Structure 1
Amino acid sequence: MSEIKKQAARAGRGVFFSLRYQLMIVFCLMVALVLGLVWFISAQLLQPLYNRHIYNYLNTQVDTLAAMIEACDAPVSYRAFAFSEAVKNDDFWAGVDAAAQDGRLDFRNCCVDIADSTLRHVASSENVYPCLLHESTGDLFGGKITTKRDSDTITAFRQAVMKNGSVSQIVGTSSGAQQMVVGKLAQNGQWGSYSVIISTTLTRVSEAAVVQSQLMPAIFVCLLAVAVLASWLLSRWLTRPLTQLSAAAKKMADGDYSVRVNVSHSDEIGRLADEFNHMADQVARSAQLQRELLANVSHDLRTPLTLIKGYAETVRDLTGDDADKRTDQLNVIVDETDRLSGLVNSVMELSKVSSGTEQPQRVRFDMSQLCEEVAQRYDAVCAQNGCKLRLEADTPCMVSADPAMMERVLHNLLGNAMHHLGEDGVFILRVTPKDGCARVEVEDHGAGIAPEDLPYIFDRYYRSRSDAGKVGTGLGLSITKAVLRGHGFRFGVDSTLGKGTTFWFEATDEKKDEGAKRK
């Protein structure tokens, strides 16, 4: 498949596999899942949960009333003669009324039935109509209601309680009426046993569940439509900054380095936009530096090449047997060739150091001694140019670094200082111990560096302080920066216009640091 076809395929997939559509799909699926759970709970779990709640309520009432009977030290009721009406214990029933008053017992909407061991009625409270246990009949509104205290249904439940100790059942009729029944056996000590049965009518929750099931499809469709619209708007709002970033990145890839992203978000997307803009600034500045590099290098190459060619042609065509002229012209050729070699070597050195190809070979040595050796090599140059290098390195300062790389750094900084000497013609190389480090400073008394140039002074090919036309490639400080970063040393520059500039770095001693850590 050609590259054009691949791009077309990616573009076609991008519409449906974009982050925006993925957010919409996830949001809609979550809404559908929630609605499905609501549907399931309302249709399948509503009635069981409701019945469980009613059972717990009735069971609590039965336990409370049975506990009161068992705690009574007298018969709840007794019969003077066979088949006679039971005589109630007034004190006990007064306690039941008090429990109903303070909330321990709640017989509202309940049918309460208490019978003795002969399965005959002792007491009851009827607040259910129609009561399926006592087979209530009559006209509720007319006030004519008949209740069978000892109906066959309630007698069967009393018998089940006496036999099994408890009962829990739902009874119903063909018309759909339902009643939950909970009963328990209460032992009244030597006075016998009593069956305590409490029941209540079950609301037709199943019918409510059916109605909800019928309504849920319409609710599902409406809420899903709202979810689709909301997710579309939300995903659009969330992905708009990413779309802007993508478009800006494409423009930058096409060479438009002026593009910036304006994102008002203060979250991670906003921080990403800020980082993108920062990256765009750096890329634009790098592009500018590359253009300056081409201009500088082309100028630096063109001049010596022109001189080399011109003098070589002069030697060939005009000089003839004049040995002095030939020697001078060949010296010019050699000097310009050296300039070309220096430029090429600087570019290659920066490339090796910046890419990490050349790693520092650390050894422990005295930085003051190295500075003294480097300073001695400038004696002849200073005498020739009428300047003076002052060395201030009286205190030994042990460091762990690559001596050859540190020597390059010193030569770069000293060479830079020689090109910016002040009226006194003095530049200083200083080494002092500071906080366990060796602080190396190269100071000149020249024109200084403008504050706006300071942040970029170590960048490759960057020139400041009106350096146009001066000798050099603009790579020395860049090489210095790469070497010091490779060692992990702190470095910087301090400058005041009209007074001079001080380049500095702080070299550490790894063995000393390890000893401090062990302590």
Structure 2
Amino acid sequence: MKIKGLSTIRQKLMVFVVLLCGVLLGLVWLLNVWLLESFYTHKVHTDLQRTADAFSLLIQKYETLEDPSQPNGISPDFYSAVQQPEYTTMLLGKCIEIADANYNCLLGNHALSSGQCLLHPARTTLFGDTGLPSWNNKNVLAYRAQTLADGDMYFTLNGQNGMRQMVVCKNVADRYTVIVSTDLERIGQAGEVIGQQVPLIAAVLLAVSILGAYLFSKWFTKPITELSHAAREVAKGNYQVRVREPENADELGQLARDFNTMAAEVGRTSELQRDLIANVSHDLRTPLTLIKGYAETVRDLTGDDKQKRTDQLDVIVDETDRLSGLVNSVMELSKYSSGTMKMEPVRFDLAQLCDEVADRYRNVCEQNGYHLDVQTDQVCMVKADPDSMSRAIHNLLSNAIHHIGEDGYVALHVKPQADGSTRVEIIDHGAGISKEDLPYIFDKYYRSRADAGKVGTGLGLSITKAILISHGYAFGVDSELGKGSTFWFVAAAAEPEKSAEA
């Protein structure tokens, strides 16, 4: 929902807090003014009903209350029972009477807080003399008769000076009646007083809520404002900008950390783009210059000299091939990275594929006096795209030979793992990779300082990375300066082939 005039999170937070305060004040007013008397009356009625039920169960237990042999005409067992603490405590603040079917009061007690009873004007001690006329006045007699005739009921009596009394009448087996009553406080007046205080309370709380909302929104939106400012700086090209990362791990703190990570990655990408321009420009400039130079030479000077013309045309062809290779590598990386390269996974022996790729380098290694150590003697079944995996292994092996050490050692090891996966390692004893360069060695167009100035596009490892990611394989490199590098990846095990149904 869009609220007109509220354009910032800070404004929306302030409005939300103020509205929330208003809603809470409305609920307080509703509960304390409108519903106060209803809640109070319900509570009093429940308490009186519980007391009447307790005495009704006691009467039913003894069945007969009258005992003419006793001075008070009441069974001594029942009389002793009603004077136990569990019953006398129920009667605090209440008036109770127990009458027989002839409407005669057998037991009665006044313990009202006001000391005045609208049912029985006179007050006596606990279950005292019930022969006084006040215990058997015509109003009470009518209530007893109606209870015996119609059953349980409750009502409220109104007296002079605002006195009110709630009465609960209980019919016990059509033989006795229990009438319990208590004073009703002037709860309505209390509600009126609270209602008069609510506007003042609302004004104070509204002022406090506005101030609190202002301070809270300022504190809450401060990191967002910092992020917004930093984002504008990044848009201007300042990739060194960073935002303060809060110590707590809430969502804003995580957002700040993610922003800093993003700024660092954007800065690194920008640097790689600059490197791309420099590297590709160099790689393009050299063959283009040679092609143009030799073409002009052929045209102007050596057109009639067949041998020179052939040699110079060979240079043009070679440099053209270099340009084509560069363009093809860029296109290939783009296809793998974007996912447009269609993969056709099949089950095959990865060890055999590695051996076939290594076989292409045996002649080169022999001619240069290199030692190519190939360990592919164990079957390693995987499910992958053979052409893509062949390309990845070729790139890694070519990279190892390109960085071969003085001992001329390069190795390709294929090792089955206990979980059924296959680990492939390409090892060289070259100069190694520094710790600063190691995290970025698979990035496109990236070259370590040791490779600065060397001919090449820097795309081979990037293509390998894209291929392995598309297959979901783990990969990495372990290296130490002066000792060489080990590039590796782990291919998941192929699911066993399902046997054909007979």
Report TM bin, short chain.
0.7 to 0.9
Q: Per the alignment, do residues 425 and 15 of structure 1 end up closer, same or farther by CA in structure 2, a change over 3 Å counting?
A: farther
Structure 1 residue 156 displacement after superposition:
2.8
Aligned to 1:153: 139
The two structures have a TM-score, normalised by structure 1, of 0.84
- Unpaired runs of 5+ residues, structure 2, are 124-131
Separation in structure 2 between the aligned mates of residue 366 and residue 391 of structure 1, nearest angstrom: 15
- RMSD (Å), alpha carbons: 3.1
| Structure 2 equivalent of residue 125 of structure 1 | 109
Alignment of 1:164-183 (within 5 A): 164-173=150-159, 175-183=161-169
The verdict on how the C-alpha distance between 1:174 and 1:428 changes in structure 2, with shifts beyond 3 A counting, is same
Residue 136 (structure 1) shift: 5.9
In structure 2, the CA distance between the partners of 1:109 and 1:434, relative to structure 1 (3 Å rule), is closer
Show the counterpart of 1:141: none
Q: SS of 1:466's equivalent? A: helix
| Paired residue type of 1:341 | S
Q: Which residue of 1 aligns with 2:206?
A: 224
Change (3 A) 1:250 1:98: same
CA contact (8 A) 1:46 1:209 kept: yes
- Provide the residue aligned with 1:98 in structure 2: 83
Cα shift at 1:405: 1.7
Aligned twin of 2:450: 466
> Do the aligned partners of 1:171 and 1:180 also contact (CA within 8 Å) in 2?
yes
* Equivalences for residues 402-441 of structure 1 within 5 A: 402-435=385-418, 436-441=420-425
Q: Which amino acid aligns with 1:373?
A: E
Report the CA distance between 1:111 and its aligned residue.
3.0
Q: Secondary structure at the match of 1:16?
A: coil
Structure 2 counterparts to residues 23-422 of structure 1, below 5 A: 23-72=13-62, 76=66, 87-89=72-74, 91=76, 94-95=79-80, 98-99=83-84, 101-104=85-88, 106-128=90-112, 129-135=115-121, 148-173=134-159, 175-186=161-172, 193-264=175-246, 265-422=248-405
In the alignment, the residues of structure 2 paired with residue 214 and residue 194 of structure 1 have an alpha-carbon distance, to the nearest angstrom, of: 47
Retained in 2: the 8 A contact 1:134–1:153?
no
- Helix, strand or coil for the counterpart of 1:203? coil
In the alignment, which residue of structure 1 is the partner of 2:126? none
Q: Match of 1:21?
A: 11
- The answer to whether 1:479 aligns with 2:463 is yes
Q: Measure, in 2, the Cα distance between the counterparts of 1:377 and 1:13.
A: 70
Q: CA deviation at 1:486?
A: 1.3
Counterpart AA for 2:487: F
Measured in 2, the distance between the counterparts of 1:317 and 1:79 equals 153
CA distance in 2, matches of 1:363, 1:74: 96
AA in 2 matched with 1:294: I
Q: Which amino acid aligns with 1:23?
A: L
* Distance (whole Å) between structure 2 residues aligned to residue 121 and residue 382 of structure 1: 123
> Residues 209, 301 of structure 1: CA spacing in aligned structure 2 closer, same or farther, 3 A cutoff?
same
SS in structure 1 of the partner of residue 292 of structure 2? helix
Q: What's the CA shift string for 1:338-389, capped at 9, x where partnerless?
A: 2211111111111111111112222222333333333333344335444343
TM-score by length of 2: 0.86
Q: Could you tell me which runs of 5 or more consecutive residues in structure 1 were left unpaired when the two chains were aligned.
A: 1-11, 81-85, 138-145
Instruction: Give distance in 2, aligned partners of 1:74 and 1:411.
Output: 108
Distance (whole Å) between structure 1 residues aligned to residue 363 and residue 59 of structure 2:
121
Q: In the comparison of the two structures, how many residue pairs are matched?
A: 486
Q: 1:404 offset after TM fit, Å?
A: 1.8
CA 1:422 to 1:103, structure 2 compared with 1: closer, same or farther past 3 Å? same
Shift, 1:207, TM fit? 1.0
Secondary structure of the corresponding residue to residue 463 of structure 1: coil
Asked whether the 8 Å contact 2:65–2:75 carries over to 1, the reply is no
Instruction: For residue 154 of structure 1, report the CA deviation from its aligned partner.
Output: 2.6
Distance (Å, rounded) in 1 between the aligned partners of 2:48 and 2:303: 130
Deviation at 1:507, TM superposition (A): 2.7
1:402-435 alpha-carbon deviations (Å, 9 max, x no partner): 2222222222122212221222223223333233
Deviation at 1:476, TM superposition (A): 0.7
Find the aligned partners of 1:240 and 1:492 in 2 and give their Cα distance: 41
Q: Is residue 375–residue 413 contact of structure 2 (8 Å, CA) maintained in 1?
A: yes
1: CA distance, partners of 2:365 / 2:185: 109
Query: Counterpart amino acid of 1:46?
Result: L
Matched, 1:510 2:500: no
Question: Which moves more between the two structures, 202-211 or 124-133?
Answer: 124-133
Give the Cα–Cα distance (whole angstroms) in 2 for the partners of residues 395 and 130 of structure 1: 106
Deviation at 1:475, TM superposition (A): 0.7
* Letter paired with 2:48: L
Instruction: Report the identity percentage.
Output: 49
